[in-house]
Every structure is written in C-alpha cells, then in structure tokens.
Amino acid sequence: MIGSELQILIQLLAKLPGLGPRSARRVALHLLKYRTELMLPLSEALNTTAQTIKICDTCGNLDTQNPCHICINNHRELGLLCIVENVADLWAIERSGSFKGYYHVLGGTLSALEGIGPEQLKIPALLQRVQTSGIYEIILALNATVEGQTTAYYLADALKTTNAKVTALAHGVPLGGELDYLDDGTLTAALGARRQL
Amino acid sequence: MIGSELQILIQLLAKLPGLGPRSARRVALHLLKYRTELMLPLSEALNTTAQTIKICDTCGNLDTQNPCHICINNHRELGLLCIVENVADLWAIERSGSFKGYYHVLGGTLSALEGIGPEQLKIPALLQRVQTSGIYEIILALNATVEGQTTAYYLADALKTTNAKVTALAHGVPLGGELDYLDDGTLTAALGARRQL
C-alpha cells in the first residue's frame, strides 16, 4: 500500500543503527514533511560525504584528506600515540581537547568468537609505525569492556619489544557519577587507585 | 576536528526524529562503512522520493500519484470513510488489512495550546467531502490520547448535520495484553464494554 519508492527509502532507513521498521517510517514521514530544508540537503550531504571522505592510511581516521589533518599537523606532540578502537572514540578524545599527540585507530577489538585476529585489525601497521617513528609513549585508550581489555593486554604484550612506554586510561568514578549507581568493578578500581589529598 | 562535509552530514542526521548528536555520529560512521551498499542508495532514494512523492488532494495520503492509488481504487467500499490523524496511522490500518473503505487524513489534532483549529486541519475538506460523495459511515480512527479524543468529539458534533453514521474504534484490552500492565482507563473501558460469550 506504500508506493515502491517510499518503501525502498523506508527499507534503507531501517538498516541504520538504532532504527527499526517503525522508526524508519517515522523518519521517512518527517523527511517528506521537510523536503527542501532536510530531505534534499541530506541526500546531497550523503552523496558528497560518500565521495569525499577518505580513510587516513597512517592512523585510520576519516577525513577529506589522506593523510588526515591530525597526522599532517606538526604542532602536535610527536612521540605520543593514542590507540583507539574506532573513529568515534578518536572523536570523543579530540572533543575533550586534552590530548595533543597522534592517533592509531585499530578498527575494532580482538575477538576469537568473530574470528578477528591481529591481522584483521591495524595491529601489524601499529607495530611497524611504533618501530619506525620514534614514539616514546603509547596510550591504550580502549573501551573498558572485556573485548577492549583483552585487546589492551595483547597490545601491551606485543609492544614490549619496542622501547616505548605503554600506558592505559585510568579507571575510577566518572565526573558527576554517583557511587550508588556505579558497578562493583568500577568502585573496586576507584578504591584500589585511591590518591592522597 | 571532524571534516566540515562530515560535520554537515552529522548535523542533518541529528535533526531526524529519534536521533541525537551521539546517534547521528554513529549513523554517519555506519554509513561511511557501507558506502556503496547503503550510503549512496540512501542518498538516491531520498532524492527520488523527495521528487516523486505527492500528497493526495482527496485524502491526504502520500503516493507517487495524485489522487493516490487508494482513492482511485473503485473496488473498495464506496460509502465507508475512515478518519485518521496522520499518514502513519493510515499505513497502520492498511497493514492490518481489515478496512476496505477510503481514508481522510486530518494532518494532526485540534490543539488550543498550539493554535491548531479546524482550518489548520483538513476538517473543512472533510465536511465538504462527506456532503458531496454519498458516504454512509464515518469511522473516527483517532489516537486514544486527550488530543485525539477531543478532535473525535469535535468531529462527531460537526458531522451531525450530515446523514452519515459516525462510529469510533472500540476501546479494550489489546490482543496479547496483560491486565497487570494495563492502565485503569483501559480496564474501565474494557469492563464497561464487556460482551457475552
């Protein structure tokens, strides 16, 4: 009963993460209501972005240029390398404005279950990059999940052969976090790493 | 730190209902991962749909043709008209396959707060349509919300001058519904309209 063009649009929208058939229909109706202000600009932006955004060969970031503007910026701290799972994590750290080194995006985490080994991630490229570019500290900024931490342990081990110092993000109570809502693991970590005031 | 093309895309995605800045970033990264399978087809579908989908002048449905394929289908029951708030509701009833008459989409509900009166909805067009086209039953399929029911009462009153019978959807326990999870209003309605087995 829905025209086939609209049906195709709804099916494509339903493939986006976080959207299902019902929300895809809602989005499609919203778009049809705002054709010139939203629907056509979105079509245009999707097309432009798909054509222009490249993956940086050095770090794995997404940018209109390759190498990306972070990798070619020589005002950043040369010997400092931050390892992240994906581009969203890189963006999150950049938003915080607290890191001035360079990045290396792994593209995921190790997973025996899904058959993802070091070769499926950018781990060989990382080892080569560390060996050839005078990096003195590697910060493992991986998610505090089982997969993230497994990958962190693997990397810490693999990076032992290099001269770089390997560090990891601190665990503890998030700013604004209420103790009552925190899980036991976080509380245990925060207690264990308590500091003198 | 995100390229401006990508930034524009994320800003547009964040305007879609149900998406915020974080989920828009996630959607953008997902799209960039599946450029040929999803991103470019979606751009194309948005453009095509924006160009081809029209609003049916008779009923308010969205279709590639005007009048829509429901309005020009003369195998449906001629005298039966179903009033719905929006196109999503029309689609929901069509999906159920249980209605074979025609539709009239109001385009919203009456709201003194938002300044939406009968003229802002397709209510004058409805009254004219009922007077000129031999409709014998009007089913008010409005949402069981305060706004929907206010609009239903207004319509029932306005349609008194016509000869058509005005009916409304039954209230009661939804199929698969558990009594413990139902609100008092629904239970009261279901008890009041109990039927003999």
Domain ranges of chain B: 4-52, 75-168
> If residue A137 lies in a helix (H) or strand (E), which one and from where to where?
strand A137-140
Q: Length of chain B, please?
A: 197
Q: For residues B11 and B101, what is the distance between their CA atoms, to the nearest angstrom?
A: 42
Reported pTM: 0.81
Q: What is the mean pLDDT of residues A47-70?
A: 94
Q: For residues B109 and A167, what is the distance between their CA atoms, to the nearest angstrom?
A: 59
Q: What is the mean pLDDT of residues A41-51?
A: 95
pLDDT at position A1, please?
54
> If residue A129 lies in a helix (H) or strand (E), which one and from where to where?
helix A123-132
CATH 3.40.1360.10 matches A75-168 = yes
Q: For residues B62 and B126, what is the distance between their CA atoms, to the nearest angstrom?
A: 17
A2 pLDDT more than 70: no
Q: A87 and B45: CB-CB below 8 Å?
A: no
**Position B165: which residue type?**
K
A71 pLDDT more than 80: yes
Please state the φ and ψ torsions of residue B162, each to the nearest 5 degrees: -85, 170
pLDDT at position B13, please?
96
Number of H helices, E strands in chain B: 7, 6
Q: B16 and A30: CB-CB below 8 Å?
A: yes
CB < 8 Å to A94, chain B: 1
A99-131: pLDDT as tens digits: 999 999 999 999 988 899 999 999 999 999 998
Q: What is the mean pLDDT of residues B62-88?
A: 93
Q: For an interface test with B, which of A49, A75, A99 has the most B Cβ atoms less than 10 Å from its Cβ?
A: A49
Q: Which CATH number fits domain B4-52: 1.25.40.10, 2.30.29.30, 1.10.8.420, 2.40.50.140?
A: 1.10.8.420
B88 pLDDT more than 60: yes
Cβ contact A159:A168 at 8 Å: no
Given pLDDT bands bounded at 50, 70 and 90, which one contains residue B124? Answer: very high
Given pLDDT bands bounded at 50, 70 and 90, which one contains residue B170? Answer: confident
B91 pLDDT more than 60: yes
Residue with tokens 């209109």: A64
Average pLDDT, chain B: 91
- Give the distance from CA A151 to its chain's centroid: 14
Q: B23 and A43: CB-CB below 8 Å?
A: no
Q: What is the mean pLDDT of residues B186-191?
A: 85
Given pLDDT bands bounded at 50, 70 and 90, which one contains residue A182? Answer: confident
Strand order, beta sheet including A165-168: A102-105, A80-84, A137-140, A165-168
- Residue B64, min C-alpha distance to chain A (Å): 6
Residue of B17, B64, B94 with shortest CB distance to A27 = B17
Whole-number percent of chain A with pLDDT over 70: 99
User: What is the C-alpha radius of gyration for chain A, rounded to an integer number of angstroms?
Assistant: 21
Given pLDDT bands bounded at 50, 70 and 90, which one contains residue B108? Answer: very high
Q: For residues B179 and B197, what is the distance between their CA atoms, to the nearest angstrom?
A: 19
Q: What is the mean pLDDT of residues A62-90?
A: 93
What are residue B132's DSSP bridge partners?
none
Residue with tokens 């991986």: A142
Q: What is the mean pLDDT of residues B42-61?
A: 94
Q: What is the mean pLDDT of residues B35-46?
A: 96
Identical fold for domains B4-52 and B75-168, yes or no, is no
Average pLDDT, chain A: 91
Whole-number percent of chain A with pLDDT over 90: 70
Q: Does A50 reach chain B within 8 Å, measured CB to CB? A: yes
pLDDT at position B180, please?
85
Name the residue among A16, A193, A181 with its Cα closest to residue B37.
Answer: A16
A190 pLDDT more than 90: no
Q: Which of residues 128-167 of A touch B (CB under 8 A)?
A: none
Residue of B1, B3, B50 with shortest CB distance to A53 = B3
B191 pLDDT more than 60: yes
Q: For residues A83 and A90, what is the distance between their CA atoms, to the nearest angstrom?
A: 9
Residue of B30, B64, B94 with shortest CB distance to A16 = B30
Q: A91 and B42: CB-CB below 8 Å?
A: no
- Residue B156, min C-alpha distance to chain A (Å): 28
Q: Which residues of A89-128 are buried (b: 16+ CB within 10 A; e: fewer)?
A: bbbebbeeeebebbbbbbbebbeeeeebebeebbbebbbe
Report the Cα–Cα distance between both ends of chain B, in Å, rounded.
68
Whole-number percent of chain B with pLDDT over 90: 70
Q: Does A17 reach chain B within 8 Å, measured CB to CB? A: yes
- Give the distance from CA B140 to its chain's centroid: 12
Q: B88 and A25: CB-CB below 8 Å?
A: yes
Q: B17 and A9: CB-CB below 8 Å?
A: no
pLDDT at position B2, please?
67
CA angle A154, A155, A158 (to 5 degrees): 90
DSSP designation for B36? I
